[in-house]
Structure 1
């Protein structure tokens, strides 16, 4: 076990998880509360404070040197504020300032949840050993993050790599973000299910009409379900290829609930990438499923905090 110790928070619309994490990625202490996502901002902050209080009550807290926070977005790391779409009580909420006050002035580093997942995959997952990587979370939405030249690249506000809002259909459906034809509007779980339902697919009586059921139907050969996943895969491939062409990533790591479909998603994704990643310098792009699992948010928040704890360059990652 490394003597380096940081605290980590993973804040989403359903749960607020906390942990103490050592410099080798070992999770030593855990705490968790449900997110009161429909309550006011102070009530949500109260749940964060409860998680931190539980971590602070243990004997290891005295060794903690920094706090990393991975939050549903948008986030603004430049101001330390968060405005998660799925937590309406937080709009421009000063999370970094409040967390610093609760923890007695610890250094705090805030990143978006897609960037946190990227940090985790580069540190202890499928992107380990790659200096240039794109990592995607394909779930209710589509998020992502970048590692460039061996360093996490969150951008000025902590949102760089947000591949879900690259437009891949110029005249496509309007996206809630304000643009059209975004990757997320085609490849997220709800939109995979929406397209399948619009084209005549139906779940078993009493069954869930979500993307997991569409994946099961595609696995069984249902042509509408297969087509919905193939369309999602093409959108992802177009976004990945555009990113790789722009910044020359070597690997694209895909995680999140939709990635659980396995080859139903990955087989057409690899096929489509051969079409979209056509230039010679992106031909060798590797696509791999994420490996950090359900702890990715916590590990990524810790990975983001460790350089702060070491007083290192702010965008470097643990080795």
Structure 2
């Protein structure tokens, strides 16, 4: 039997998903468990259940590599993860623990936003672009880089983490230790928090999430619109900084906040035109991601396949 598939894991604070992925980016076998709210061993037990379910499906023998996209921070060089949204895992030896279950498949660990970048470059909005930043804007803000046509995760698997570029030197302190980070201005909770502080109020007993702020902005609520404009300005400043540093031509924006559509993308394009002013940075465009919830699995598979030469350069296929 030929070994022509990539196994993939997508590990986050809400769910742990797994799949066997073919060379066309199709998910042939899937498995999923909710992420336990308990301690680290309970989370790893759920990961093991997902892997065993994939193994029981009859196609596991075709898996040549394993890719893991995890909420971070991750340290790919050490094989450890410390996800902010999985409190039981701090410097958790994920790579070693996965190998106890999955065996010695060649394995690649990257951050979840880096996995999203790999996916969008292979089968999504960044396909055909050799220099792109792909971003997840949700509870946090993360990113991954495609440079010279290849995924560039960096030594620890975190390169492209645009959420912690400072765009406001006198801004609010960030949990990362810096201040004025993109994430502190543009994440979903930050948008909602700012809107409430500026006087926006939902209906009594109503939703106070960023999605509710987006819905209000879509009806013309000035405070809600201003809150999204502020977030878009922070994203634009971060994207322009990245484009100036490494000459990008595309920024792909996904995640829950991107679901606001033109409420986010209209001011983002306007601010980006202002911030990316130098001739070599000006071509950068911001577009929505295409792959949705499957991006983590597709990207983890692509990152592993590229790292270990499984397919013909997935990022270029």
TM-score range, shorter chain: over 0.9
Distance of 1:247 and 1:307 partners within structure 2? 22
1:4: how far off? 2.1
1:218 aligned onto 2:217: yes
1:146–1:152 CA contact under 8 A, matched in 2: yes
Query: How far did 1:98 drift?
Result: 1.2
Aligned to 1:89: 88
Query: Per-residue CA shift, 1:48-71, capped at 9, x if unaligned?
Result: 000000000121111111110000
TM-score in terms of structure 1 length: 0.96
Aligned partners of 2:251 and 2:287 also within 8 Å? yes
Q: CA deviation at 1:259?
A: 0.3
Does the Cα contact within 8 Å between 1:306 and 1:318 map onto a contact in 2? no
State the SS of the aligned residue for 2:8. Answer: strand
Compute the displacement of 1:311 (Å). 5.9
- Pair 1:139–1:34, CA change in 2 (3 A): same
Q: Aligned with 1:228: secondary structure?
A: helix
Could you tell me which residue of structure 2 aligns to residue 317 of structure 1?
A: 315
CA separation in 2, counterparts of 1:197 and 1:247?
Answer: 37
1:114-154 CA-to-partner distances (Å, cap 9, x unmatched) read: 10000000000000000000001000000000000011000
CA contact (8 A) 1:125 1:291 kept: yes
Distance 1:7 1:94, change over 3 A: same
**Aligned residue number for residue 274 of structure 1:** 273
Asked if 1:206 is matched to 2:205, the reply is: yes
* Unaligned 5+ runs, structure 2: none
For 2:65 and 2:107, the matched residues in 1 are separated by: 6
The equivalent residue for 1:22 is 22
Separation of aligned partners in 2, 1:112 and 1:89: 18
Q: How does 1:24-39 map to 2 (within 5 A)?
A: 24-36=24-36, 38-39=37-38
**SS of corresponding position for 2:129:** coil
The separation in 2 between residues aligned to 1:277 and 1:76, in whole angstroms, is: 31
> What's the CA shift for 1:307?
2.4
Consecutive unaligned residues of structure 1, counting only runs of 5 or more, are none
Shift in CA distance, 151/308, structure 1 to aligned 2, threshold 3 Å: closer
- Spell out structure 1 runs of 4+ moving beyond 3 A: 315-318
Q: CA RMSD in A?
A: 1.5
Q: Deviations over 1:28-63 (max 9, x none)?
A: 000000001x31211110000000000001211111
SS at match of 1:185: helix
- 1:180 aligned partner: 179
**1:283 alignment partner in structure 2:** 282
Deviation by residue 1:172-216 (Cα, 9 ceiling, x = unmatched): 011111111000000000000000000000011221100001001
Aligned residues: 316
Q: Which residue number corresponds to residue 10 of structure 2?
A: 10
Q: Give the Cα–Cα distance (whole angstroms) in 2 for the partners of residues 149 and 312 of structure 1.
A: 18
TM-aligned CA deviation for residue 308 of structure 1? 4.0
1:293-308 → structure 2 map (5 Å cutoff): 293-308=292-307
Residues 6 and 309, structure 1, Cα contact 8 Å, conserved in 2:
no
